[in-house]
Amino acid sequence: MKSKMSFFNTAIILEDLKRYWGIAVLYFLSLFFSTTLDLILLFNPSDGYYHEKINNFLELRHANSQMMFSIIFPILLSVLLFRYLQQSKSTTLLHSFPVTRGQLFHSHNIAGVLLLILPTLFIGVIFLVFLNIHHDGSELFKNILTVSKVFRWAYFSILTNLVVYFISVLVSMVTGISLIQIILSFIAIFLPTGISMLLTVNFKQLLYGFAVNEQFLENFVTKIIPITSFLSDKTINDSFLWWYILLNIILYFLAYIFYQKRALESASDPIAFNLLKPIFKYGFTFCSMILSGAYFYMLEKIDSWLYMGYFIGAFLGYIIAEMIIQKSIWIFKNLKGFVLYTMIILLVFVGIKFDFIGYEKNIPNSEDIESVYYGNGLYDYWEEDRNYSLKTSENIDLVRDLHSQIIKNKEIFAHKEENVFLKYIGIAYKLKNGKTLTRGYSVPKEFAYKNVFIPKIYESKEYKMSTYDIFHLDLDHVNYIRIHPESNHNADDVKIVDPNEILNMTNALKADLLDQTYEESIDNKNSWASIQIYMDKEKDLDESHRRSSIHISWEKHYKYFPKWLKENGYYEKSRVLPENIASIIIEKANEETQNFHSYNVSDLAKELTTNKDKKRLEIKDQAQMEKILFNTGYGYGDTKNYIIGIYFTNGDSQIEWMTQENAPEFVKGFFK
């Protein structure tokens, strides 16, 4: 005898499969023609680009097409399967049949899961057959296109589809309109990512010095809902597998509970539960407010625009939410809730403005600090493979004094004028109680360069030893060093491979860095050459040597490094010399030529030699050329006072700049 308490109804499942099999076929064809067929037709086991493309597909990275289909088809399927809940006649009729709500719910979802799983399984089978036919033992089939990776792609894709599907099923239980279901499903999918981004942007605007590890936050938040992990460059960690399984279970049972509690007469109601209406209304209002605030502040970075954006966004969000709930445009009698919301938000903003919680003014006491970090940003601090901390009491006090000075100048720095060049300063404290405090500030370049504390921090041996990669270099892991002159001149790079030369060369660079003053580190002169230290990837590197290469510049004020180059016969090949140059032409820069990015460099180099109407200085004396080469550099806007056209003996040319401050006297005298 058939049990009346059956978990599902076979007839309902078969009917759903019969009615909606076309969705599964369309999903399969979409995946096949957008990704699978392309990868099969482009098959080339020796092509590195193909390796990268198929690896990205199997790792679900940059999978834009699959991401789109994994959103559209699960949502569409959930809308069709539970469409009867949005229509009064249908929902009344179906619930009058001798089947329980549980049987209806489970049966529709079994059909839905089957229709979503089968297309993905078929694609996986195609890849397994393809792998079996073409497997030749090459690198592609050993490490990239493997059976385990195909299976991994299949189960992550299935879990992704099911999460999207069950999100939409849950939404279908709380709304009585299919269009609202589709919109809310899309919102729910991207809600964690969107809210985290908007809150980060708004906290930066509201809290002076707010800093958060955005890369870590983004990589974590995008993986909360598996479909948004496709947006990340990082591979989905297998540990998230269990979270996705749990998330599917949670969504399923929440949807089941809501289905059991749902009133039949709620069909065609935008929000089916009265308890959820205020949550929807004020949640929508809040999201609209922070989105509008971020947008208005982006247009004009002043507080008045920020708060105007908050008000407009909140007001429009509240009105739209009320219209949706009431199914009417005549909702202006129901603005009491908006008044209450506004009062609460005003209290919050007043608290933030006057810093009642002490966030902006919080500087830990010296005795509570274990170590500090100072740098041009916080990315290095958040890296896991290096310790950039400063532990001496002198540096701890210097960082605290710098932090205090920035806070005192908040009103000036936070409301900076346009066209002011900024420098980002990152500060972090590791406290003895295990907590950390991080802050980030954009300050005017003049403050950073003229500040009394920053030079003392920079010139300390501890700071240099912790900051520069070369001091953390294990020579056993160095493969070779390449020196590339900073010039368009067509010359071969210098390659250093001898271990003794590598040792002596890196020691010379370390000595120059330890001698370098803060003023020298921020001068606007170009470097002589770029030095790349390449690590041996074949060796078993520990966590502190994961980087494939380390970069350092040969600055023009270095003493020990050029001396070593001369002693070992590498100097003439490591930089551009006057002997490599036929002539140098100098001209005063104007407003047009100061904008380097909008001016064609080759045309500018040609114009310097052909336009005789402008006053220009042509140099062929090698001693003067050396002075020009030593002083070329970069400027900002109107500090690019001179255009330097360098014309090499081999026919190449290059454009450089020089500031009035760095110009030799013979150049200044000529243009007086």
Span 429-448, mean pLDDT? 90
Q: Residue 604, by phi and psi: left (phi above 0), alpha (psi -120 to 50) or beta?
A: alpha
| pLDDT score at 433 | 93
Q: What is the DSSP string of 582-649?
A: EEEEEEE--HHHH-GGGS-HHHHHHHHHH--SS-EEEE--HHHHHHHHHH-B---GGG--EEEEEEET
| pLDDT score at 217 | 83
Q: How much of the chain, in percent, has pLDDT values that exceed 90?
A: 45
Give 377 or 520, the one with higher predicted confidence.
Answer: 520
| pLDDT score at 214 | 82
Lowest mean pLDDT among 41-45, 113-117, 479-483, 597-601: 597-601
| pLDDT score at 1 | 37
* Whole-angstrom distance, CA of residue 521 vs CA of residue 454: 12
Neighbour order of strands in the sheet with 422-431? 369-375, 422-431, 436-444
Instruction: Find the largest Cα–Cα distance for the chain.
Output: 109
Q: Is-above-0.85 flag for pTM?
A: no
Over 70: is that where the pLDDT of 85 sits?
Answer: yes
What tokens were used for 38?
């392309």
* Whole-angstrom distance, CA of residue 510 vs CA of residue 496: 17
Helix pair 147-174, 178-206: axis angle to 10 deg: 100
* 5 burial level (CB within 10 Å; 0-12, 13-18, 19+): exposed
pLDDT bracket for residue 411 (50, 70, 90): confident
User: Sign of dihedral through CA atoms 87, 89, 94, 95?
Assistant: positive
Span 279-291, mean pLDDT? 92
3-state helix, strand, coil in the chain (%, to 5): 60, 10, 30
pLDDT bracket for residue 2 (50, 70, 90): very low
| pLDDT score at 355 | 83
The pLDDT tens digits of the residues spanning 47-65 come to 777 788 888 888 887 677 8
Over 80: is that where the pLDDT of 238 sits?
Answer: no
Span 309-318, mean pLDDT? 93
* Whole-angstrom distance, CA of residue 74 vs CA of residue 27: 9
Q: How much of the chain, in percent, has pLDDT values that exceed 70?
A: 92
The pLDDT tens digits of the residues spanning 534-568 come to 987 544 433 444 457 889 999 999 999 999 999 99
pLDDT bracket for residue 510 (50, 70, 90): very high
| pLDDT score at 140 | 78
* Whole-angstrom distance, CA of residue 57 vs CA of residue 39: 9
Span 305-331, mean pLDDT? 90
Radius of gyration for the chain, computed over Cα atoms and rounded to the nearest angstrom: 32
Span 357-377, mean pLDDT? 92
Helix (H), strand (E) counts: the chain: 28, 11
The pLDDT tens digits of the residues spanning 130-159 come to 888 887 777 778 778 888 889 988 988 999
pLDDT bracket for residue 292 (50, 70, 90): very high
* Whole-angstrom distance, CA of residue 467 vs CA of residue 469: 6
Amino acid at 111: A
Amino acid at 533: I
* Whole-angstrom distance, CA of residue 361 vs CA of residue 354: 11
* Cβ–Cβ < 8 Å for 312, 293: no
SS3 at position 531: strand
| pLDDT score at 600 | 58
pLDDT bracket for residue 354 (50, 70, 90): confident
Taking residue 515's Cβ as centre, other Cβ atoms within 10 Å add up to 14
31 contacts: CB under 8 Å, gap ≥ 6: 65, 66, 69, 119, 120, 123
Backbone angles phi, psi at 478, to 5 degrees: -85, 130
| pLDDT score at 490 | 59
| pLDDT score at 598 | 44
| pLDDT score at 426 | 92
| pLDDT score at 541 | 38
Over 80: is that where the pLDDT of 267 sits?
Answer: no
Adjacent-strand bridge partners of 563:
none
What beta strand segments (E) does 295-378 contain?
A: 369-375
The per-residue pLDDT of the chain, averaged, comes to 86
* Whole-angstrom distance, CA of residue 322 vs CA of residue 318: 6
What tokens were used for 134?
């073409």
389 contacts: CB under 8 Å, gap ≥ 6: 371, 372, 373, 430, 466
Lowest mean pLDDT among 212-221, 278-287, 484-493: 484-493
pLDDT bracket for residue 416 (50, 70, 90): low
Over 70: is that where the pLDDT of 637 sits?
Answer: no
| pLDDT score at 52 | 80
* Cβ–Cβ < 8 Å for 120, 113: no
The four Cα atoms 24, 29, 31, 37 give a dihedral, to 10 degrees, of: 150
Nearest to 186 by CA among 85, 269, 91, 67: 67
